[in-house]
Structure 1
Amino acid sequence: MSKQLVLMDQDGGVDDYLATVLLMTMEHIQPLGIVVTPADCYIQPAVSATRKILDLMGRWDIPVAESTVRGINPFPSLYRRDSFIVDHLPILNERDEIQTPLAQETGQEFMVRSLLGADRPVTLMVTGPLTTVAAALDLAPQIERKIEKIVWMGGALNVPGNVEQSLEPAQDGSAEWNVYWDPLAAHRVWQTQIPLIMCPLDLTNNVPVTSEFVRQLTKQRQYPISDLAGQCYALVVTQVYYFWDVLATTYLAHPEFYELQEWETVILTSGESQGRTKVERGGRKIQAMNKVDKEKYYAYLLHQWAR
């Protein structure tokens, strides 16, 4: 049985790195590469950290590409600085040189080339904004037929967003950050026929990174990627932190852990609700992860990272 082809597009947050780690442990997946979108990060340390993570896992066959897109509403610098911290973790800096290759073209060009060169449809695993995907579609509209589906961590359907008005006074609090960074790009993807499976805040709000889970990771820190995951979560333990990208990525391995629900939706691109993923009759049909078996989910992560 041939492996599922997956191209990952992440944006350099702590959970993006750990979603990347998780993807590399999936035996039935053939990753085509990792694109880093400069959203929840500073791009140079984010690309560097991603390549070092692949080095740690011995995945020098997976190229990393740097997207050059820009969003409309930048992430706060307080969020983005974690990319510098992860890039400096001792566990990622034991070697003098990075072996994982850096693509010589932009991330959006790399996405186009990877999709057009694939011998069968590809799943896009997107854990940041959809801007690089939209840019790739604009470069080569024919790639739409090469995309089997997009699994995306993004949006808030029937719960408030996570764009705080204290940081973004012009927003009414209804938007999720991966949409808000570039609502026009999300709207562009919404105009396609590509099947969309969302992991929205409606689900992630119920799946926190708990102190108990981090303690369980600590008990298996003899395994390098458990040690890395524990160090990464230690950076954010003082925050209210959820499984966003890791939860979305787990769907690739175990869709049976999840319950999906279909919604008709639109992306609002202007006004005080800019970036809202609004449920609206007659809108674009998407599938959203509605529930997850948390016990199986937590156990799966611990199992995959014990290596």
Structure 2
Amino acid sequence: MKNFYLNHDGNIDDFVSLLLLLQMPEVNVIGVGVTDADGYIDPASDASRKMIDIFKKADCKSAVARSNSRAVHPFPKEWRLSAFTFNNFPILNEKREIKTPLAEKPAHLDMIDKIMPSPSKVTLVMTGPLTDLARALEVNPKITENIERLYWMGGAINEKGNVKEPQHDGSAEWNAYWDPYAVKAVFKSDLDIVLVALDSTNQVPLTNDLRYHWASQRKYPAIDLIGLGYSLNHSYEINSTTYLWDVLTTLVSNYPELVDSKIIKASVITEGVSAGKTYLDDENGRPITFVTSVDADAFYDKIDELGKSAAYNN
């Protein structure tokens, strides 16, 4: 059994990541942190607690820690609103009482409290900004000694970014742009980092065929919830596509055979019109394991496998 800590930022992809991580047979989720970034903290925290109540394995004792980290560049509020709807889904509200507790400390301190005493090194999965980790490193740099590896959904190396904001050149990915200084701080650490950037997540789009497939599997409660969740992901922009960004990162953390990777050296820009841009830097960059390609069919099959196997404590 491997110990995992998940830090997410409260949008649909994050919730599905938590759901699937809870189903992995060889994974013990020792803690969950929620950042007030791509979703609003109140509904995101409540939804996470409800999901643990309903879909956890019997021996799971996770608490949910609310982050008090703040953005350098906040996400658009229009993206964040889906956390409210997700939290109101009937499948999460059959029971009025939420049993999974809130952690006593904010997420960056909870991360330290959960990781440091772990008898084995912890796999850290972060599907939002790196701010809580950067703050944890500042409080207790020794936390790196008990982290096996960091899997982060963030950055764009050879792909164009997804930030479309005034006075920005579009080169950054949003999790990096939310707090570029945190990225720089984590890159300065001695952590073993696996980067799941837009370069690989763009290979696993949310298609209509995938939506229909999940609809055909509604008899499985977890897959029904996945389908409902992704029904909230839509865009009215021409040629705009949603991808399974965070889910890919989460599955790669325990099933590395789903992807191919290589070692690169990367850096980040913290200020100016390219703030948050991650880029190849062979001379001064830090070594990172960079996911280059995905076996998309195997990836989608793994979602099915885990979703169908999900515990359902209704």
TM over 0.5: yes
Task: Choose which of 26, 37, 54 in structure 2 pairs with 1:39.
Answer: 37
Matches within 5 A, 1:117-128: 117-128=117-128
CA shift for structure 1 position 204: 1.0
Could you list the structure 1 runs, at least 4 aligned residues long, displaced by more than 3 angstroms after superposition. none
Counterpart contact for 2:156–2:278, Cα < 8 Å: yes
- Where does residue 270 of structure 2 map in the other structure? 269
- Where does residue 25 of structure 1 map in the other structure? 23
- Where does residue 106 of structure 1 map in the other structure? 106
Q: Secondary structure at the match of 2:199?
A: helix
Task: Choose which of 286, 294, 297 in structure 2 pairs with 1:295.
Answer: 297
CA shift for structure 1 position 140: 1.0
CA shift for structure 1 position 237: 4.2
Instruction: Kindly provide the amino acid, as one letter, of the partner of residue 269 in structure 2.
Output: L
- Where does residue 242 of structure 1 map in the other structure? 243
- Where does residue 52 of structure 1 map in the other structure? 50
- Where does residue 222 of structure 2 map in the other structure? 225
- Where does residue 172 of structure 2 map in the other structure? 175
**Identity score, percent:** 38
Q: Deviations over 1:122-165 (max 9, x none)?
A: 1110000000000111111111211111001100001110001x
Q: Deviations over 1:232-277 (max 9, x none)?
A: 0111145621010001111123211210011111110011110000
Q: Deviations over 1:81-139 (max 9, x none)?
A: 11111111111111111011111111111101111111121111000000000011111
Q: Secondary structure at the match of 1:179?
A: helix
Matches within 5 A, 1:79-228: 79-164=79-164, 168-228=165-225
CA shift for structure 1 position 177: 0.2
Q: When the two structures are superposed, what TM-score results if normalisation uses the length of structure 1?
A: 0.96
Instruction: Kindly provide the amino acid, as one letter, of the partner of residue 149 in structure 2.
Output: K
Equivalents in 2 of 1:304, 1:52: separation in Å?
A: 18
Equivalents in 2 of 1:118, 1:105: separation in Å?
A: 17
Equivalents in 1 of 2:220, 2:178: separation in Å?
A: 36
Equivalents in 1 of 2:25, 2:84: separation in Å?
A: 30
Counterpart contact for 2:160–2:170, Cα < 8 Å: yes
- Where does residue 312 of structure 2 map in the other structure? none
Equivalents in 2 of 1:174, 1:220: separation in Å?
A: 38
Q: Secondary structure at the match of 2:262?
A: strand
2:285 is equivalent to residue 280 of structure 1: no
Instruction: Kindly provide the amino acid, as one letter, of the partner of residue 251 in structure 1.
Output: V
CA shift for structure 1 position 215: 1.4
Structure 2, gaps ≥5 residues long: 310-314
- Where does residue 253 of structure 2 map in the other structure? 252
Task: Choose which of 3, 6, 9 in structure 1 pairs with 2:7.
Answer: 9
Equivalents in 2 of 1:24, 1:64: separation in Å?
A: 13
CA shift for structure 1 position 41: 1.1
Q: Deviations over 1:271-299 (max 9, x none)?
A: 11100001112211111111111111111
Instruction: Kindly provide the amino acid, as one letter, of the partner of residue 281 in structure 1.
Output: D
Structure 1, gaps ≥5 residues long: none
Q: When the two structures are superposed, what TM-score results if normalisation uses the length of structure 2?
A: 0.94
Q: Secondary structure at the match of 2:156?
A: coil
Instruction: Kindly provide the amino acid, as one letter, of the partner of residue 230 in structure 1.
Output: G
Q: Secondary structure at the match of 2:232?
A: helix
CA shift for structure 1 position 18: 0.2
Instruction: Kindly provide the amino acid, as one letter, of the partner of residue 7 in structure 2.
Output: D
Q: CA RMSD in A?
A: 1.1
CA shift for structure 1 position 302: 1.1
Aligned length: 302
Matches within 5 A, 1:71-82: 71-82=71-82
Q: Deviations over 1:159-217 (max 9, x none)?
A: 110001xxx11111000000000000010000011010011001111210111112111
